[in-house]
Structure 1
């Protein structure tokens, strides 16, 4: 997308693009683009329900492909890379001409534009056979997606324009940014509409039914928004509504003891009981429909490779995160691969089971370790699912899962205090810890929760945002102390205040100089 200042043509493209999704929840049956008519496509419940399918994958691709990891994980100090296209945040040198910055920005605005198309125009384009329940749920999904896109935009860039209908700006491409507090209000309003409109669900072992978001998904995301606003009362209320609903469960927790933390990141467990919102990848022969993580992470040498491509291991664990896990924490092996680790279910080339080679031979970025999360190995039937022509695969990417919600609940109860021994807070954090093989805590502080969030959600894109919501001096101190080099060359970089928000893309600033002007209040209808 060239810019977020769109024309009417964007709306037509958006509707066509969104209609590419399947009429099924698993996105496997996509209609051909040239067979879609804007006048008669939405004549059935199945067609309306499929309208958002593309928004669970392709609209997010350029955000998730490299940008997300390059900013949220390399930037936070969890990941290391020397690859020049994704390493600017390692030393805080990202600028407005960076191609991946442009990709991430454009992808988020694509989500906003396409959400707006559904919110504003879908209802007028449905036939009489479409039931209102299905229509409202689909519109609710669009509100959810718009809120989620804005939640990333405001945390990454700060003030951005609030756009509710892209057609309002076809002749006025110069748009003011709006205040951060107004953007958070807008996000909150959108999630509340989503809660009202979306289906209520219970996540079961029938994973094919779990792909789309629900009332519980919107409540969980809203709890996270409240946490960022330090509205601890409402964060707790929302979190407890989700917990008490029983919709989600921890894999490997008391309710699902036969499953494990490691199962979360396998193809077979796409849309599992813990998944609150995940990007749904499905290779269909088109670039940007599947997940590139198996190539970007893992090991790629002549002797051992987990990649289906001729390259791999673009990202690696940082030296800082390699030493962060205790020996008894089962999450370490499912998050970071160290020399000697064995993974019986991961197949590698030239052949055989993955036995992680020595630190000298692990390849990739010279980190002496590799990333296990989202690394599922060379294509291996139903274990990995298929691989497309770009070596991309169909395993989901989490935006939020239930463990995150439980830690939000504990922090909301703490509510900025020095410590708590509240039974509810302890139950939530200890559920996460027990699954990891760790002992119960009897009292918790913010530092306990902050550490647990890093270890639990490592390589899932949260640590950068957690660092962004603590006192700036504390975040700078943490990041300045991180070894941001490889295992042979320690390097340290100290961020400045300006580095916690990203620059606007140069091209968009040139088209809309108001981006760099002070934000203005937003007028809510």
Structure 2
């Protein structure tokens, strides 16, 4: 599906490029006029967004798992010093993993910018108006998804900073040869752009291929956005709309991982030949040695959460035991078992999350859009082999979110947006993990500060 060659045109999208990134030989690149000279090549550039997003630093697990070990789900035991900084809240602004994430995210965003700008200009009578609109809608969805996640790493959450704290620069135009030096946008500004892109994309998306952006995925991401903004009536409404999309359904069991099951509104498909680009993504980090790195086993706190209610299929059917990176026998998730080729699919947006979002949003709004919070939570517990609850409160809903979505990248923001410490009592760095503390968010990479005088650093770095 992905076209690596066409993705190379991302040389033209990075807004702060070093000389070596601009010095590609002619045989390694396609010029913009060629890339958008016909329908086939233009759709190849669209595929390049997904290709760029397959990097571990984007949607394929590095930062999704980093949020799990910065919080309370993962006991990171690996040797990467840049990852250990996150675990111990000693992160520095020259952290090379963070600078890699920054570069790779803007590569993916920049490719989306190309599609949005140049697809309308393609002169090809075989490229229908509906096909063009769908291509642009996919690009806008991807840009929204990438900015949403990106901003949440570099800004204090809305619940702490009222959305006025600085996030990341909003770059909405492709690189045209003139280097610009944008300032950081506030979290509110980034979220407004995310909402605008998603609402614009929604009418022109369909549900034909959940390995790409779908209408269901767009509804689901809007629901996630509104939940993070404490816009609970809208979160419940859009989660309900996503659940009602006929192309998708709550899976009956847990065999949907690494498939294109209709449990997924959007899953990034990986293969051994075309997938996660290192052992630092979902598969490599979260598998025991020797197949994987053994870096990211369950924390004792997460083990205790499952042990409090034995028989949960989300534990009994989705775990494996093996040696971790320091030789101890530890418990790992089995959601991403293909550690040799790092080819497991990335679970980006799925139906289960929308049941959880609808339950939380309805509970906090005092509403029952689509169904009651109790019924939504019990539907998930029934699938997990657990008995029904008689009533639910916010803690019960967040616990179900934790157990359903662990190792998929949600835990950090689920805690921060609820004004909860990332670490539980008795764990290391509890005080440093409180919302509003400097190192619950990332520093602007020092190399970006050196290149762009309009960027300002986050407090504490």
TM-score bracket, shorter-length normalisation: 0.7 to 0.9
Structure 2 contact 288–294 (Cα < 8 Å) conserved:
yes
Residue 336 of structure 1 and its aligned partner are, at CA, apart by 3.0
SS of equivalent residue, structure 1 residue 317:
coil
Q: TM-score, normalised by structure 1?
A: 0.73
Structure 2 contact 71–423 (Cα < 8 Å) conserved:
yes
Cα 1:136–1:100 change in 2 (3 A) is same
Structure 2 contact 226–232 (Cα < 8 Å) conserved:
yes
Residue 450 of structure 1 and its aligned partner are, at CA, apart by 0.7
**Is 2:287 aligned against 1:298?**
yes
**Is 2:364 aligned against 1:364?**
no
Cα 1:367–1:402 change in 2 (3 A) is farther
SS of equivalent residue, structure 2 residue 423:
helix
SS of equivalent residue, structure 1 residue 479:
coil
**Is 2:184 aligned against 1:184?**
no
Per-residue CA shift, 1:21-52, capped at 9, x if unaligned? Answer: xxxxxxxxxxxx86967545556655544432
Structure 2 contact 319–331 (Cα < 8 Å) conserved:
yes
Residue 430 of structure 1 and its aligned partner are, at CA, apart by 1.9
Match of 2:262 in 1: 273
User: Which of 296, 320, 323 pairs up with 1:337?
Assistant: 320
SS of equivalent residue, structure 1 residue 111:
helix
**Is 2:221 aligned against 1:221?**
yes
Q: TM-score, normalised by structure 2?
A: 0.83
Cα 1:39–1:160 change in 2 (3 A) is closer
User: Which of 321, 325, 337 pairs up with 2:302?
Assistant: 321
For residues 93 and 368 of structure 1, what CA distance do their matches in structure 2 show?
27
For residues 246 and 455 of structure 1, what CA distance do their matches in structure 2 show?
26
Cα 1:11–1:492 change in 2 (3 A) is closer
Structure 1 contact 411–425 (Cα < 8 Å) conserved:
yes
Residue 377 of structure 1 and its aligned partner are, at CA, apart by 4.9
Match of 1:165 in 2: 173
Matches within 5 A, 1:230-241: 230-241=230-241
Per-residue CA shift, 1:435-484, capped at 9, x if unaligned? Answer: 1111222322111111111100000000011111012xxx22x6142535
**Is 2:392 aligned against 1:444?**
yes
Q: Give the length in aligned residue pairs.
A: 430
Residue 87 of structure 1 and its aligned partner are, at CA, apart by 1.9
Question: Which range moved further: 162-171 or 497-506?
Answer: 162-171
Structure 1 contact 148–187 (Cα < 8 Å) conserved:
yes
For residues 147 and 34 of structure 1, what CA distance do their matches in structure 2 show?
29
Structure scoring higher RCO (CA < 8 A, sep ≥ 6) equals 2
Structure 2 contact 237–369 (Cα < 8 Å) conserved:
no
Cα 1:286–1:320 change in 2 (3 A) is closer
User: Which of 368, 376, 379 pairs up with 2:337?
Assistant: 376
Question: Which range moved further: 447-456 or 67-76?
Answer: 67-76
Per-residue CA shift, 1:474-495, capped at 9, x if unaligned? Answer: x22x6142535xxxxxx86742
For residues 215 and 249 of structure 1, what CA distance do their matches in structure 2 show?
14
Matches within 5 A, 1:479-490: 479-481=423-425, 483=427
Match of 2:433 in 1: 495
Structure 1 contact 211–280 (Cα < 8 Å) conserved:
yes
For residues 23 and 416 of structure 2, what CA distance do their matches in structure 1 show?
35
For residues 243 and 218 of structure 1, what CA distance do their matches in structure 2 show?
12
For residues 183 and 495 of structure 1, what CA distance do their matches in structure 2 show?
24
SS of equivalent residue, structure 2 residue 348:
strand
Structure 2 contact 38–122 (Cα < 8 Å) conserved:
no
For residues 128 and 370 of structure 2, what CA distance do their matches in structure 1 show?
45
Match of 2:71 in 1: 76
**Is 2:460 aligned against 1:516?**
no
- Which sections of structure 1, spanning at least 5 residues, go unmatched? 17-32, 203-208, 253-259, 339-355, 357-361, 379-390, 485-490, 519-525
Match of 1:61 in 2: 55
Matches within 5 A, 1:100-499: 100-158=97-155, 159-167=167-175, 170-173=178-181, 175-199=182-206, 201=207, 209-252=209-252, 260-261=253-254, 263-265=255-257, 267=258, 270-284=259-273, 288=277, 292-300=281-289, 305=290, 307=291, 312-325=293-306, 326-338=309-321, 362-365=323-326, 368-377=329-338, 391-415=340-364, 423-471=371-419, 475-476=420-421, 479-481=423-425, 483=427, 494-495=432-433, 497-499=437-439
Structure 1 contact 291–394 (Cα < 8 Å) conserved:
no
For residues 103 and 10 of structure 1, what CA distance do their matches in structure 2 show?
15
Structure 2 contact 240–369 (Cα < 8 Å) conserved:
no
For residues 139 and 219 of structure 2, what CA distance do their matches in structure 1 show?
15
Match of 1:387 in 2: none
- Which sections of structure 2, spanning at least 5 residues, go unmatched? 1-9, 156-166
SS of equivalent residue, structure 1 residue 278:
strand
Give the root-mean-square deviation of aligned CA atoms. Answer: 3.4
SS of equivalent residue, structure 1 residue 80:
coil
For residues 406 and 275 of structure 2, what CA distance do their matches in structure 1 show?
30
